[in-house]
């Protein structure tokens, strides 16, 4: 078991084998169904097996879990069977004044989160970084990095834009990872802008990725591939890193406190898109081009059948929450299947007989999306095509929302 358990982790549900590893146990998970909790097998599998601490829903056992809960204000004695007489922290509570989380206190007026009728799940915020954000941070990072770095190599694919930004900021070489692995030395070629002037070839190559959350990619994939390059100085870095990932790199710019993180440059390629919610029109497919088409059912159905795809997600998305009417479910599902969009749940709008009726009802779309998004505890980012609707969804839910393609964001870390 990992050093710190997750409060959503349940008992063992099955035992399996992986390649040449000994058998390992899969636990039930309150939020995701199943999870691997053993850090030993996570390391021995080269980071390929899932682990609680890499999950975007991970919450350490005992962590305050109610949105109404505040900091510790005093200590009291437990009155719970099995722990009676032991010390327990008492927290402030916005509803009851104080709360003991998971223990009854000797003072019976103290409430307990796990049995409280006013219990509210805390909102899980999300990190989102646009391309502009990433470039801004990369340029700031370049000023902190050592001056002996003469070239930057990007880890495909998310590290490539970071390496390009750093190379542009330093006016030095960008290097393909394949060139580095194959023993090439492209940084020794003349940089055209210097017009033949002598340049420094004695220095360090920095291999960079966008994030090093657990450090698995650097430790188990990148570093072994470059271990034969003893003829050059190679260092490793990541623009953003997690608490466990910092030890896998030599340089990092900013620490992320949790693993719920998405970048514009891999929004549709995110492994954790199963924990995200997406608008359909204007994000995955083109938006309806005109009000005339939207209000003419025959033309509207024809448009839905032939709508141009904009971005097809690589992995399964958790939910598509759309303001399309429920009566158009079959044509919508056909389009999604035709274009290879794998979605866990398609949520459509009920209660309206026409698009005109829906459009005449104030905030029908954003209220519908907010209502469902607020119920999806495991979903920590909503991607919406319309800036106004995105802002309303954020206001109504308090959760992280991004407007696409403007990249405006609300309630994001």
- 33 and 137 within one domain: no
- 138 and 252 within one domain: yes
Within a domain: 78: yes
- 391 and 309 within one domain: yes
- Picking from 213, 235, 263, the residue at the C-terminal end of a domain is 263
Within a domain: 195: yes
Distance CA 120, CA 102 (A): 14
- Picking from 80, 115, 150, the residue at the C-terminal end of a domain is 115
Distance CA 324, CA 5 (A): 41
Distance CA 123, CA 394 (A): 12
* Parent domain of 274: 270-410
> Binning pLDDT at 50, 70 and 90, where does residue 112 land?
low
pLDDT of residue 339: 97
pLDDT, one tens digit per residue, over 254-274 is 999 888 899 999 899 887 888
- 257 and 292 within one domain: no
> Binning pLDDT at 50, 70 and 90, where does residue 64 land?
very low
pLDDT of residue 63: 43
CA distance to 123, 252, 258, 284, 337, per residue, from 57 (Å) = 11, 24, 9, 25, 29
The CATH number covering residue 305 comes to 3.40.50
Within a domain: 60: no
- 221 and 293 within one domain: no
Within a domain: 59: no
Within a domain: 120: no
- 178 and 232 within one domain: yes
In terms of residues, how long is the chain?
A: 413
- 324 and 385 within one domain: yes
The CATH number covering residue 132 comes to 3.40.50.2020
- 398 and 285 within one domain: yes
pLDDT, one tens digit per residue, over 335-386 is 999 999 999 999 999 999 999 999 999 999 999 999 999 988 789 999 999 9
Within a domain: 4: no
- 404 and 335 within one domain: yes
For the chain, percent of residues with pLDDT exceeding 70:
76
- 108 and 188 within one domain: no
Does the pLDDT of residue 55 top 60, yes or no?
no
The side-by-side arrangement of strands in the sheet containing 87-93 is: 69-77, 87-93, 97-99
Spell out where 190-328 has E strands: 204-212, 233-241, 251-255, 261-263, 277-278, 317-325
Q: How many domains does the chain have?
A: 4
Within a domain: 63: no
- 95 and 23 within one domain: no
pLDDT of residue 57: 55
Instruction: Assess whether the previous peptide bond of 405 is cis (omega < 30° from 0).
Output: yes
Within a domain: 231: yes
- 110 and 19 within one domain: no
Q: Quote the pTM value.
A: 0.74
């Amino acid at each position: 078991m990992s050093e710190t358990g997750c409060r959503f982790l349940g008992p063992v549900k099955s035992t399996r084998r992986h390649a040449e590893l000994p058998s390992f146990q899969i636990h039930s998970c309150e939020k995701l169904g199943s999870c691997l909790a053993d850090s030993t097998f996570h390391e021995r599998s080269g980071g390929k097996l899932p682990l609680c601490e890499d999950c975007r829903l991970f919450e350490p056992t005992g962590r305050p879990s109610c949105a109404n809960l505040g900091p510790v204000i005093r200590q009291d004695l437990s009155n719970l069977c099995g722990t009676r007489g032991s010390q327990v922290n008492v927290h402030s509570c916005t509803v009851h004044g104080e709360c003991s989380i998971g223990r009854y206190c000797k003072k019976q007026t103290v409430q307990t989160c796990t049995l409280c009728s006013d219990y509210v799940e805390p909102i899980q915020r999300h990190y989102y970084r646009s391309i502009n954000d990433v470039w801004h941070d990369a340029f700031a990072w370049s000023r902190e990095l050592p001056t002996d770095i003469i070239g930057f190599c990007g880890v495909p694919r998310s590290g490539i834009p970071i390496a390009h930004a750093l190379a542009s900021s330093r006016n030095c070489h960008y290097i393909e990872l394949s060139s580095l692995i194959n023993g090439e030395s492209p940084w020794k070629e003349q940089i055209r802008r210097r017009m033949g002037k002598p340049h420094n070839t004695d220095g360090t190559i920095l291999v960079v990725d966008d994030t090093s959350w657990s450090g698995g990619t650097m430790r188990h994939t990148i570093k072994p591939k470059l271990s034969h390059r003893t003829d050059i100085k190679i260092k490793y870095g990541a623009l953003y890193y997690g608490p466990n990932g910092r030890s896998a790199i030599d340089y990092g710019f900013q620490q992320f406190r949790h693993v719920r993180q998405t970048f514009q440059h891999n929004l549709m390629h995110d492994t954790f898109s199963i924990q995200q919610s997406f608008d359909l029109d204007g994000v995955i497919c083109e938006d309806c081009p005109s009000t005339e088409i939207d209000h003419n059912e025959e033309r509207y159905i024809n448009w839905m059948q032939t709508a141009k795809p904009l971005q097809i997600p690589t992995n399964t998305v958790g939910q598509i929450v759309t303001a399309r009417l429920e009566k158009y479910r079959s044509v919508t599902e056909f389009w999604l299947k035709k274009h290879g969009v794998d979605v866990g749940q398609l949520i459509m709008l009920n209660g309206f007989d026409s698009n005109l009726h829906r459009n005449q009802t104030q905030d029908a779309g954003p209220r519908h999306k907010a209502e469902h998004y607020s119920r999806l505890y495991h979903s920590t980012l909503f991607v919406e095509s319309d800036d106004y609707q995105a802002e309303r969804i954020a206001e109504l839910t308090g959760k992280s929302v991004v407007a696409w393609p403007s990249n405006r964001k609300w309630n994001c870390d």
